[in-house]
Structure 1
Amino acid sequence: MLTHRFGATACLLFVSAAPLFAQTVKVDDVEFTLSGEVRVRSELDARTSDAGTDHATLLRTRLGALARPSEQVGVFIQLSDSRVFGEEANTLADATADRLDVHQAWLAWTPQPNLTLTVGRQELAFADERLVGPVDWTNVSRAFDGARLNLRAAGWTLAGFAMSLDEQAALLATGLNPRVNADSTASDRSLFGLWAATDHFDLFALGDMNATDGPDRSDIDRYTFGGRARTQLGNVALQATGAYQVGDQTQTGIPRQDLEAYMASAAANYLLTGSLRGQIGVQADVLSGDESPLDDTFGGFNTLYATNHKFYGFMDLFLDLPRQTGDLGLVDVMFRAMIRPDVWTVKADVHHFSLAEENLAGDKAIGVELDLTASRTLAGGLGIQAGYSLFSPSDAAKVSPIGLGEDTLHWA
């Protein structure tokens, strides 16, 4: 799946424009579509207690080319450079480009109008990206190496995929001894799954094999099953998502543990009409935690390869779950409002965070986060976004395992 991004985007406290293009040309009957992006984001970061405010400006530049030698075949290559202003200390001699990468490189074959096979390095995004997404907010974003098969039939879209995440015995370059591979006993890490979707329902089954989670958990075989439902009743949009995880893992000092964890989410939004346009709503997310860390069952729900920035606050205090809550889970009750006066889109989110399981002090309340954003299009291909976030900690946030400290935190 290809998403074209044309133009320049400026986020938060910085505005930038660059001449970009989107052009389709034909060369010897091969159709080429070029795409590009320049994104500049300037941040003020005061998310650490007892520390000063840090400022940094991030730049992401992308250039992509899609070639279609026939109606059935597509080839896409996308280069991406991600950097921070000032990271090259010598303005003349340093040209290392540490994060210049082939972000995507895939071949797509469509033998039938309802069937497409895509092989190579590619972004994956399913449903609202609660479990698998590219995390486009980051300066790099996520891509996978593997194959994906898409089938459309009877109102359903079915995606089956298999991705290699950590190859332990990579084939050697020509001229080297390939028998060295036989010495490798480590298992490859992989992600595979099936995702079926209609206009109102999703069903999914995912397998995350030979995963690791920090220095003390390894050989994780994790299977996630679930679904999502959504509908609209008049001006009220409703959505619910549920998932259950099973499997097993090895943890330092503990016999091999079984995995039994769950995630549940429900949201209701009232759609506003008239001059303002927009919506107001409420959402509740529950990620299970591990009640007894020394027993033979682990209950912390892992959000896999999700775009967590969309769900658990724009300050990104809870990206690595369940690790960042000490495996105690997370409960997030969010109130949301969005209006579109004239050319602006203005949003306000309020999150109330708490642990799903009590910490050692018997506390659950983590704190409240406020996220404010405003965005608009300035011209064709040029947009701007500004934002401010604040986190007020409660008792569970101030101490281990969360350890955010006593201070009110800020980010813009």
Structure 2
Amino acid sequence: MQKIKTTSLRIQGLSKEKMSSRTLSKSIFLGIALTFLSYNETKAQLTATGQVRERTELRAGQGALQKEDDKAGLFTSQRARLNIGYTGYRFKVFMALQDVRVWGQDASTINRTTTEANNGILLHEAWGEIMLNDTISKIQNLSVKFGRQEISYDDQKVLGGLDWLQQGRRHDAVVFKFANKGWIADVGAAFNQNKELNTSTIYNGTNPAYGAGTNGIGTMYKSFQYAYLGRKFFFGDLSFLFFKDDFNKYTTVTSGAPAVTTKVYGEGVWSRNTTGFYFNSAITRKLNLTGSLYHQGGKDKDGRSISANLASITSTLQVGRKLFVGPGIDYLSGDDGTKTVTATSDNNRFDPLYGTPHKFWGSMDYFYAANGFGKQGLLNYFFKVKYNVKDNLSLFLDVHGFQAADKLSNGAGGELSSYLGTEVDLLVKYNLTKMINIEAGYSIMKATNSMASAAVKNVTTPDLSPQFAYVMVNVKPNFLAKK
């Protein structure tokens, strides 16, 4: 406020004869700008942050096994975000403009067609939140949040922002939010359309600006509704989730020579229901347990009945001051690969919805990462180690043993070994400053022939020792922070 008063006195002290109209306008504008910045600095209403994240990756079988004679892929991708938020009386607004692209993907000069085809620029988030309780209410929070937003809960196993993916994940939705005395209760819904329509609500499940679906299901939901209830207890956190996502019904039509089968979308939806619990508990001062249990029912995107389950438990034990270790296991049910799948067959494959698979099922992203793996489910036995070298430097080691949760067919009436491979992930994280982070990782997998079989993902003459390495630099400035 002292700067504003000083500026005001200087303006008043200037002689009217010597001050031109242009000078006066500039002075008034400067005074208004200083007033605005000072007010927002005091009230902390305006936030302006950003992110530039560049990641160079070397892929030699990452995401899917490759042939022995295939060369490794090398590229650099970049995410740039500008985040603007504002808090006023009983409301908040937030927008995150995002650009994602691979270096060299676009021409070095203006090329409108290429830029549009790459779909690099979009609004990652754009939401408003209205507080339904006033400032004298005893309720901590009662609000409605609407617009494009990330939806993330608990450990992000089934609902998460998927931050590893440069594009991230967001939803166009409305969420009613309640929080008070350790309780959290959210109720949300979404309803998708391809465009403005005067009649019909048919949705073909694609979104060219963002990509269709998750976990290899190949389609977007038509709508969803969910309820989340969480509570902080003396022993830790406990939460309940009910999530229903709906997929537009369709029929298949075959025509032409050679025959081509296409989907014809109609009215109505098939609904999938996911219900379960999550807990995070400190058993002792140095031992922590995290676990979840979910069941899926209803109909899948193709109208098949679903009966699928997920169960997970992770332990973390602190050994000394800097070392953390812990085993764990994930179980996701799948289909029996020795049985023929028909339109009336039950679907026993658990789909971890819109979560963050990279966080749980290996850095090489073989499972539940939009690549079609996991049809026979997954048993993931793992052991994790974290060592804090110092406050800004941490080392990580994860060892995974992957196994199909159900039978794998050899294509000749018999079964294959259900063991798929062992993956080792090494990671280094270094915080140069509070706003600059450097991360490097290396992964290698010893895959089995079952992993390369037609029952999982058919690869002829496969390289059974795939590797993956990356270096990532992440800069997240706060444009309004004091120096």
TM-score between both structures, scaled by the size of structure 2: 0.72
Q: Distance in 2 between matches of 1:217 and 1:408?
A: 42
Q: Distance in 1 between matches of 2:66 and 2:332?
A: 26
Which structure has the highest helix share of the two?
2
Of residues 68, 78, 83, the one that matches 2:96 is 78
Task: Tell me whether 1:34 sits opposite 2:48 in the alignment.
Answer: yes
Aligned length: 371
Match of residue 245 from structure 2: 208
Q: Distance in 1 between matches of 2:273 and 2:141?
A: 28
Match of residue 198 from structure 1: 231
Which amino acid in 2 is paired with 1:42? T
Task: Tell me whether 1:45 sits opposite 2:59 in the alignment.
Answer: yes
Q: Distance in 2 between matches of 1:30 and 1:136?
A: 27
Secondary structure of 2:305's aligned partner: strand
Superposition deviation, residue 186 in structure 1 = 6.7
Counterparts in 2 of 1:220 and 1:350: CA distance versus 1, 3 Å: farther
Superposition deviation, residue 358 in structure 1 = 1.4
Counterparts in 2 of 1:411 and 1:184: CA distance versus 1, 3 Å: closer
Of residues 465, 471, 476, the one that matches 1:408 is 465
Contact residue 193 and residue 202 of structure 2 kept, 8 A: no
Secondary structure of 2:155's aligned partner: coil
Deviations 1:29-81 (A, max 9, x none): 893211111111111111142211111111111001111232x1111111000
Contact residue 176 and residue 188 of structure 2 kept, 8 A: yes
Match of residue 8 from structure 1: none
Task: Tell me whether 1:354 sits opposite 2:403 in the alignment.
Answer: yes
Of residues 92, 109, 114, the one that matches 1:92 is 109
Match of residue 309 from structure 2: 262
Deviations 1:155-175 (A, max 9, x none): 2101111123x315x325xxx
Q: Distance in 1 between matches of 2:263 and 2:293?
A: 28
Q: Unaligned stretches of 5+ in structure 2?
A: 1-35, 134-139, 206-220, 251-261, 470-483
Deviations 1:254-303 (A, max 9, x none): xx5321000000111111332xx131001100000112434532111111
Of residues 65, 69, 72, the one that matches 2:88 is 69
Q: Distance in 2 between matches of 1:111 and 1:183?
A: 31
Q: For residues 278-357 of structure 1, what are the structure 2 equivalents within 5 Å?
A: 278-291=323-336, 292=339, 293-294=341-342, 296-320=345-369, 323-325=372-374, 327-342=375-390, 343-357=392-406
Counterparts in 2 of 1:85 and 1:183: CA distance versus 1, 3 Å: closer
Match of residue 171 from structure 1: 196
Match of residue 158 from structure 1: 185
Q: Distance in 2 between matches of 1:184 and 1:268?
A: 46
Match of residue 73 from structure 2: 54
Secondary structure of 1:285's aligned partner: strand
Deviations 1:328-365 (A, max 9, x none): 11110011000001231100001100101111122201
Superposition deviation, residue 152 in structure 1 = 1.3
Contact residue 448 and residue 464 of structure 2 kept, 8 A: no
CA RMSD of aligned residues (A): 2.7
Contact residue 25 and residue 31 of structure 1 kept, 8 A: no
Secondary structure of 2:166's aligned partner: coil
Secondary structure of 1:341's aligned partner: strand
Q: Distance in 1 between matches of 2:430 and 2:271?
A: 44
Bigger Rg, which one? 2
Which structure has the highest strand share of the two?
1
Which amino acid in 2 is paired with 1:226? G
Counterparts in 2 of 1:290 and 1:31: CA distance versus 1, 3 Å: same
Counterparts in 2 of 1:249 and 1:66: CA distance versus 1, 3 Å: closer
Match of residue 437 from structure 2: 383
Q: Distance in 1 between matches of 2:278 and 2:318?
A: 20
Superposition deviation, residue 322 in structure 1 = 9.5
Superposition deviation, residue 192 in structure 1 = 1.5
Secondary structure of 1:396's aligned partner: coil
Which amino acid in 1 is paired with 2:77? L
Deviations 1:214-242 (A, max 9, x none): x9999541000100122112211112210
Counterparts in 2 of 1:230 and 1:34: CA distance versus 1, 3 Å: same
Contact residue 315 and residue 411 of structure 1 kept, 8 A: yes
Secondary structure of 2:108's aligned partner: coil
